[in-house]
Structure 1
Amino acid sequence: GETVGGFGSFDRWRAFLKQSAERSRLSRRAFIQAGGAGLAVSTLGAAASAPAVAAVGRQWTQIADIVVVGSGAAASVAALAAAKDGAKVLMLEKAPVYGGTSAKSGGAFWVPNNFRLKERGIEDPKASLLAYCAAYSYPHLFDSNSPTLGLGEDVYKLLEAFYDNASPMTDMLREIKAAEIGRFHVLPDGQGTDLPDYGVLDGNNKVPRGRCLGPIKPDGSPGFGAELMRQIKARIDAYGIPLLTSHQVVRLVTDGDGAVLGVEALNDGKEVSFGARKGVIFATGGFTYNRGLCCKNREA
């Protein structure tokens, strides 16, 4: 049948999502309880009582410098960045196919101050971009006179990190020539007029068009999510990064001091362990299909 960017048939993908959805019904109370357990629960779907296990006497199935959990755009770009810097990388994906929800998305990055804007001489100042994001995402907190725009320092720094790193990320993809990905398209001013930027285009949004970058197909036409992931996967293969599908990460593996040494995963019901010499990167998403995070019903 048809394929999702080369990741498997649509029927196979739909069957996986349907099966996941049927398993993913928990109450809001369970979500709140699980949320207190932190990142290991919210990203891994591990039981709140056992988000990590000790590494005493553990035999690793495989060891890498960096273990990346997930295979969507964020996970794949993180894997490429680590491999570019010389790390031995291993990717683990719960689904039987590569690409995550990115493969079924519109396939565009919203990147402030990107190279296309710079080529056109359009300035996208950091201060106004941060103010726009803060006002749109946190209207009840936004304060233009506050050093952190009314946000908590951690949230403000997260927005800063986004501005500082999003454009260099796309530059990195262009540098390593990830197939056609270096030729990101932007919609011409005469197209997509029904697709304005996010939210109210207030005075803080100095660049209402041009931040959205998408992949170009080999024939020169704009691509979407499946095309984006096809192109990124080609570069992952070129770097020789192993990708293990049908591996659901269920918990962290730590040492006696709590430092992360790797992860445990389930593959066809069998528990396997993967060591990480330098770190584990989580880019899993999947909130809708996570038993520990979904509401069982609207009344719960």
Structure 2
Amino acid sequence: MTALDEPVDTTGLRGKLTPDAPLAKLVWFKAGGKADWLFEPADLDELRLFLERLGGRLPVMALGLGSNMIVRDGGVPGVVIRLGKPFAKIETHADHTLTCGGGAHGILVASTARDAGIAGVEFMRGIPGTVGGFVRMNGGAYGREVSDVLIDCDVVLPDGTLVTLLAAELRYTYRHSELPEGAVVVRARFQGEPGDPAEIGAKMDAIGEAREQSQPLRTKTGGSTFKNPPGKKAWELVDAAGCRGLKMGGAQVSEKHTNFLLNVDDATSADIEGLGEEVKRRVRANSGVELEWEIQRVGRP
């Protein structure tokens, strides 16, 4: 591509705009195609200016850690926005609230809260992602979820407009929100409560140990694959359907935790998604339950 192909006038922008940007290295599965364009803004004003100049001509998708995502092999159309260090700041306040940038990691949010004696967000230690991602998906772990603690969030709309949305406006349900399509979460405020740093740290350690014992952490995976159906656990349904260790191409159902899919042998995203669909088919045949994807699947097949 040439400069003439760029989707916006980049004059005065300090951030990085990359054409045909490989995304596999940016997602946990280490598989998938390229983004037509990848933009990494230098700060909030620049993100707004970029999107204002883009003027809605191309679809926009935000990318955090890529921990709960399948990027399809045909790549992602339009512009992928990746928030870096300028969006990862965390502040604590006397009223036991936290103000967190959309690019802040969940484990850092929990650790910062612990050090400030703020309880109630320990569960974020168990969410492998960034604030923007788990605000969008109502991320949760170990009995709590974002909707329990979110006060409000700042989001940049695809036209560059910055708006503040109250938690109630996101209409949270299990692993779902009604955040506007293409909106980028740049800041969130969470409500905690007074707590003892030692006790908070002990809870975080317990969460870390539980994850270590039950989940395939040091693998190419996407985290929990399917939502838990009401009153049931997805992993138990997958196991009962005989899918533990099931393989398709280079993808495999984890033998350690059957609600995790793994890239074990240079899997394509088609391998991974196809394996997930086969697991859904077998669970439906065995139990009559229709599993729903929790992992976000994006891009062209």
Query: Which protein has greater RCO, CA pairs closer than 8 Å, 6+ apart?
Result: 1
Tell me whether the two structures share a fold, i.e. TM-score over 0.5.
Answer: no
Task: Give 1 or 2: higher helix fraction.
Answer: 1
TM-score scaled to structure 2, two decimals?
0.24
Task: Give 1 or 2: higher strand fraction.
Answer: 2
TM-score scaled to structure 1, two decimals?
0.25
